[in-house]
Amino acid sequence: MGKLSIFIDESGDFGEIKERPAYYLVTFVFHDQNKNIDKQVLKLEESVRAAGFDVEYIHTGPVIRREEIFAGYSIDERRKLLYKMLNFVNACPISYLTVVVDRKEAVDKVSLSGRLARAISTAMSKYQNFFAGFEQITVYYDNGQSELSAILNAVFSIWFSNVEFRKAQPQKYRLLQAADFICTMELLRIKKDERRLSRSEGMFFYKPQELKKTFLRSLEKKKL
């Protein structure tokens, strides 16, 4: 029996809904610690440096929207960076699942907390056999949202007796960045299906069917 690392990222918040439709997503990236990813991490970092980027955190949303430290990079440079993250995710021996809550059914903090807790608990139950194969589970989350932290602690503590929680910075863990990447892509999957990609998202994925066939379809293979 091995040790399982779970890296978590979210999209959405517990505040008032500013636009509809709206969703809250939580992505869980699973990594069996017996499967070393040092080579994949090194290849990603060398590739990023060789392309002239000076970034520790490949933050997918800002890369697409040309925000934060990515504001000074062209669209072609930013697209190369996101392809590097996609290649990294595809090369790593990881799997993932994403829980989605429709904010139509969770209009305030209390109802959102309840629905998230039930959705996460349902996912844990569905994949109970998978988790049973590990003697130790370590959960990495940046504690960006205290409400989600509380839900994660409550649900995981109920389901697992062998779980440890660690506050982690995305700059130090490439798999936290992978969780951020996947969570953003799963939100884009919803927005694409609803035909409401933003202008910046449409400009970034300008090649026909690129988002669907290159990014979303390849991620399907990583689903738990």
Task: Give the DSSP letter string of 153-219.
Answer: HHHHHHH-SSEEEEE--GGG-HHHHHHHHHHHHHHHHHHHHTT---HHHHHHT-STTIIIIIIIHHH
Q: Which burial class, exposed, middle or buried, applies to 47 when counting CB atoms under 10 A from its CB (0-12, 13-18, 19+)? A: middle
For strands 94-102 and 134-141, give the pairing: unpaired
What percentage of the chain reaches a pLDDT higher than 90?
Answer: 92
**pLDDT at position 159, please?**
93
The residue-averaged pLDDT of 172-178 equals 97
149-174 pLDDT per residue, tens:
999 999 999 999 899 999 999 999 99
1-18 pLDDT per residue, tens:
799 999 999 999 998 887
Query: What is the rounded distance in angstroms from the CA atom of residue 157 to the CA atom of residue 153?
Result: 6
Could you give phi then psi for residue 3, rounded to 5 degrees?
Answer: -115, 135
As a whole number, the mean pLDDT across the chain is 95
115 confidence band (pLDDT: 50, 70, 90): very high
Q: Which burial class, exposed, middle or buried, applies to 62 when counting CB atoms under 10 A from its CB (0-12, 13-18, 19+)? A: middle
**pLDDT at position 54, please?**
87
Helix 146-159 and helix 109-126: axis angle, to 10°?
A: 30
For strands 2-11 and 23-32, give the pairing: antiparallel
The residue-averaged pLDDT of 111-121 equals 97
**pLDDT at position 183, please?**
98
118-127 pLDDT per residue, tens:
999 999 999 9
15-62 pLDDT per residue, tens:
888 788 899 999 999 999 999 999 999 999 999 999 999 899 999 999
What is the model's pTM? 0.96
